[in-house]
A = this chain, B = another copy of it.
């Protein structure tokens, strides 16, 4: 019923091994033979049996890309860039040659699902795994992750981090691309302070996430350097990285500290919610309250006024992670590269008017 490699071999009058060789292209084959084989492949409409070849070769062409939230462009941009480097351009025939199958897996931010996906990828003998976005700081989960990643690496799976700080005790990770969240956050808050703000609220991300902590630390560094520490509790609110959370947290912040003249959000999406909360309170942006975000997602420039934020080169980072995962690029020294974050000053921040 289903056509196998042996059928192709018979039709092309060669041995199965030869067919395998032309299909995988890693071996010298006479071009006349190759043509004969390819013709047989087309005539028979043959498609390689992936499981069989993965079993025999003890490795598959699957590459997993783990993301926390697939509906968030932050991850979508990185994943898309990585995938475009991994999947290859395709040859236009739709026939699929030696391409890898780059697939993205949505953990939803759940540590259990993260581990489950890793196990599933391990089960498939994935060629590589790219982990994007911040990590959870729970020690138990970190240990479980380190153990799992070690096992994957052991089995030959290449591990790459993208926008995630390197694991402390594991050399299983081939390369870690990490964003300068702390520095970016510091420069953003310095910008606000330079504008004259003194009471600055901070709508942070969820607790126990490295991204949350690093950005918050950068913010507080800047505050402390200006002698503005001391009221962190009133000025900080935590919540998920989504719009609704930004709205709620900002409402609460404005209630508790009505004298703030600026609100810094954990990311652009949260900042959008913050803007809405500020407006709903009858305050103008930036005249009454400045608002700033983080990431510089595509929609940020379209906010009204345009959102001051910190640009992260998500596409470039994702593409590089993809290349690293494919072994097409040599890892940075020490396996770790820090990626700069650039302050984007726009209309949503201005000097306080009172």
When A2-B155, A104-B106, A302-B273 are in contact, do A47 and B119 touch as well, CB less than 8 Å?
A: yes
Over the window 277-293 of chain A, the binary record of Cβ atoms lying under 8 Å from chain B Cβ atoms (1 yes, 0 no) is: 00100000000000000
Most B C-beta atoms less than 10 A away, residue of A61, A94, A299 = A94
A83 touches B106 (CB 8 A): yes
A93: chain B residues within 8 A (beta carbon): 112
Q: How many residues of A are in contact with the other chain, CB < 8 A?
A: 72
The reply on A116 being an interface residue by CB < 8 A is yes
Over the window 41-52 of chain A, the binary record of Cβ atoms lying under 8 Å from chain B Cβ atoms (1 yes, 0 no) is: 000010111111
The minimal Cβ–Cβ distance linking A50 to chain B, given in whole angstroms, is: 4
User: Which of chain A's residues 25-40 have a Cβ closer than 8 Å to chain B?
Assistant: none
A106 partner, pick from B79, B95, B155, beta carbons under 8 A: B79
A120: chain B residues within 8 A (beta carbon): 50, 61, 96, 99, 101
Over the window 134-152 of chain A, the binary record of Cβ atoms lying under 8 Å from chain B Cβ atoms (1 yes, 0 no) is: 0000000000100010010
A90 touches B112 (CB 8 A): yes
The reply on A330 being an interface residue by CB < 8 A is no
A110: chain B residues within 8 A (beta carbon): 90
Copies of the protein in its oligomer: 2
Closest to A125 in B: B51
A106 to B73, CA, bound (A): 13
User: Which of chain A's residues 272-324 have a Cβ closer than 8 Å to chain B?
Assistant: 272-273, 275-276, 279, 298-299, 302-304
A49: chain B residues within 8 A (beta carbon): 55, 123, 125
When A94-B115, A105-B102, A299-B272 are in contact, do A50 and B83 touch as well, CB less than 8 Å?
A: no
A201 to B302, CA, bound (A): 21
- Ordered nearest first, which 5 A-B pairs have the shortest CB separation? A94-B115, A103-B103, A51-B54, A71-B76, A96-B119
